[in-house]
Amino acid sequence: MGWLVFFLIVGAVVWATASAIGQAKLQKAEDNTFASTYRGWDFFVSPHNRNVLAINREQGQVALGSVSAPKQYSLSTITQVEVLRDGASITSTNRGSQLAGAAIGALALGGIGLLLGGLTGSKRNQNTIHSIAIKIVVDDSTSPVHTIEFFKSPDKKGTDSKDSFVTAAAEKVDHFHALLVNALKNTATPAEDSVASQLGRLWELKQAGALTDDEFAAQKQRLLGAQTIARHEQT
C-alpha cells in the first residue's frame, strides 16, 4: 500500500512537471509567432494574462487580445484608455478629455510618479503594489474591453513600489500610455475635444486629488482663454 502511494505521488509530480514544461514551450512558441508577425511594431506581451498590446503609428493600427489570437484595430477606434493600479483607475482618458488626461502627467506627480504615488481614491503614497495594468476600450461590439497586465505581485501582501520589477513595469506602462493618449489626441474631432468636456475632466481630477486648487485654476484659465481666442478668430 505504501509503495502504491509512493508511485502515485511520483507519477503526479512527473505529470505536473511535464505539463508545466509543455505549457512553457507552447507560450514560447506563441510569443515567437507574435513577435515575428508584428516585427517593427511597438508591442508588449503580458506574462500574466497573456494579452498583448501592439502599436504601429505609421499604419495607424493597434493589435489587442490574446497572444494566440490578436485582433487589429484602427487607432481611431480607441475610445478610452485607463491605467489601473490594484484594479483601481489612476487615470482615464477618453475622446472628450485628451487635454485633461495629458494634464495628469504634466501637473500631478509625473508619469511613473503618478503611478507609484498611488492616487487611488483619496489615498496617497501607498507603499505596496499588487498589480499594474492598462485598460483599453475600442469601438467593437464583440470585444470592446482589453486589459493588459504589466505587473502582478507574487506576494499576497503586494510588492514594494520601489522594487525594480515594479519600476520596470511602470516605465513600460508610462511609454504605452503616452502612445495611446497621443493616438486619441491625434484622431480626435473638434466636437469630441470640446472645452466643456475638458473642464469636466479637470474637475474630476481635482476631486480625485490629482490636481491641486492652483493647478486646476491654471488649467481652467488656459482652456477658457484658448476658447476666447478661438471665438475672436471666427468673428
Query: Stretch 205-211: mean pLDDT, rounded?
Result: 66
* Distance (Å, whole) CA 137 – CA 125: 28
pLDDT score for 207: 66
8 pLDDT more than 60: no
Q: What is the pLDDT of residue 137?
A: 93
Backbone dihedral angles phi then psi of residue 15, each to the nearest 5 degrees: -65, -45
Confidence check: pLDDT of 89 > 90: no
Q: Of the given ranges (10-14, 77-81, 141-145), which has the lowest mean pLDDT?
A: 10-14
pLDDT greater than 60 at residue 5 = no
Q: What cell does 229 get? A: 481666442
Higher pLDDT, 134 or 182: 134
Does an H or E element contain 151, and which?
strand 145-152
CA angle 199, 224, 99 (to 5 degrees): 45
Strand order in the sheet with 51-56: 42-45, 51-56, 61-66, 69-74
Provide the pLDDT for residue 41.
95
Average pLDDT over residues 215-220: 80
* pLDDT > 80? residue 74: yes
State how far the Cα of 204 lies from the Cα of 211, in Å rounded to an integer. Answer: 9
pLDDT of residue 35 exceeding 70: yes
Compute φ and ψ for 95, nearest 5 degrees.
-70, -10
Average pLDDT over residues 85-109: 60
* Residues 109/6, Cβ–Cβ less than 8 Å: no
Cα 228 to Cα 2, 15, 222, 225, 232: the distances in Å are 86, 71, 10, 5, 6
Asked whether the beta carbons of 153 and 129 are under 8 A apart, the reply is yes
Condensed to tens digits (0 to 9), the pLDDT of residues 116-168 reads: 554 333 344 457 889 999 999 999 989 999 999 999 999 999 998 888 998 89
